[in-house]
């Protein structure tokens, strides 16, 4: 248990659906991240938030929309996804300064049908 | 862009033996951080060990140690006295000094046999 939780753990959605992934951290961290983990590929950074402000968007398609209402919560809103978006979506948090460790959540296994 | 290469998709080690996982990276920067993360079958990624590039001394955490060769841009992980619980995917990662993002390698799947 790393102090970062993600819900749901598994999600199956159609291409026309709208769903949201939720991440919560109980560590008092200031930075939060979304990563995508696909089979046979390195983890890909999607978004970074620091003090609720988005600091990085790694050329992610607009069908993925992040939201960070406060430093403890991070959402990933999904709409009109494609089958190739099926992957494990990992959330992470870190103190937000210096050489800090990122703490990962257990991930949401997303399947787009 | 920085790239991280893990050339061993799979490795196997017997319990109590030692195994070394390889990692190389490409960067033009002189100050950065390197990490090894472990992802067990439960999928929660945890940090195993980290190394600051400005430190010449190799990092050590109990049975885990690294061989950091800055000039060669190599960062291997040695696991001593391997245990069944060490079985997992191991990811090497790079972070530049002035950023937040981790750049990961594709991972090495470690199997530990009794």
* Angstrom distance (rounded) from CA B46 to CA A15: 32
Identify from A9, A43, A51, A57 which residue to disrupt to test chain B contact, counting B C-beta atoms within 10 A and taking the largest count: A43
Instruction: List, for residues B24-40, the tens digit of each pLDDT value.
Output: 999 999 889 999 999 99
Smallest Cβ distance to B104: which of A43, A56, A94? A43
Among A78-92, A96-110, B58-72, the range scoring the smallest mean pLDDT is: A96-110
The yes-or-no verdict on residue B105 having pLDDT over 60 is yes
| Residue B99: predicted pLDDT | 74
Among A71-75, B2-6, B20-24, B60-64, the range scoring the smallest mean pLDDT is: B2-6
Instruction: List, for residues A12-26, the tens digit of each pLDDT value.
Output: 999 888 999 999 999
B52 to A104: CB separation less than 8 angstroms, yes or no = no
Contacts of residue A88, Cβ cutoff 8 Å, sequence gap at least 6: A36, A37, A38, A107, A108, A109, A110, B43
Instruction: List, for residues A75-96, the tens digit of each pLDDT value.
Output: 999 999 999 999 999 999 998 7
pLDDT-based confidence at residue A99 (cuts at 50, 70, 90): low
Q: What is the mean pLDDT of residues A41-46?
A: 89
Q: Which two tokens stand for residue A51?
A: 């003090």
């Amino acid at each position: 248990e790393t102090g970062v939780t993600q819900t749901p753990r598994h999600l199956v959605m159609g291409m026309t659906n709208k769903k949201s992934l939720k991440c919560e951290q109980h560590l008092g961290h200031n930075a939060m991240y979304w990563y995508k983990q696909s089979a046979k590929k390195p983890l890909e950074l999607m978004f970074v938030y620091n003090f609720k402000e988005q600091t990085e968007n790694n050329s992610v398609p607009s069908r993925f929309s992040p939201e960070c209402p406060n430093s403890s919560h991070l959402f990933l809103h999904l709409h009109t996804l494609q089958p190739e978006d099926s992957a494990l979506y990992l959330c992470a948090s870190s103190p937000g300064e210096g050489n800090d460790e990122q703490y990962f959540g257990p991930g949401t296994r997303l399947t787009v049908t | 862009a920085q790239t991280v290469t893990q050339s061993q998709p799979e490795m196997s080690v017997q319990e109590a033996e030692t195994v070394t996982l390889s990692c190389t990276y490409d960067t033009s920067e002189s100050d950065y951080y390197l990490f090894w993360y472990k992802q067990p079958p439960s999928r929660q990624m945890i940090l195993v060990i980290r190394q600051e590039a400005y430190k010449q001394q190799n990092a050590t955490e109990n049975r885990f140690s690294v061989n950091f060769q800055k000039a060669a841009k190599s960062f291997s992980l040695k696991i001593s006295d391997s245990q069944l619980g060490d079985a997992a995917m191991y990811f090497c990662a790079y972070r530049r000094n002035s950023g937040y993002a981790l750049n990961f390698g594709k991972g090495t799947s470690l199997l530990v046999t009794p």
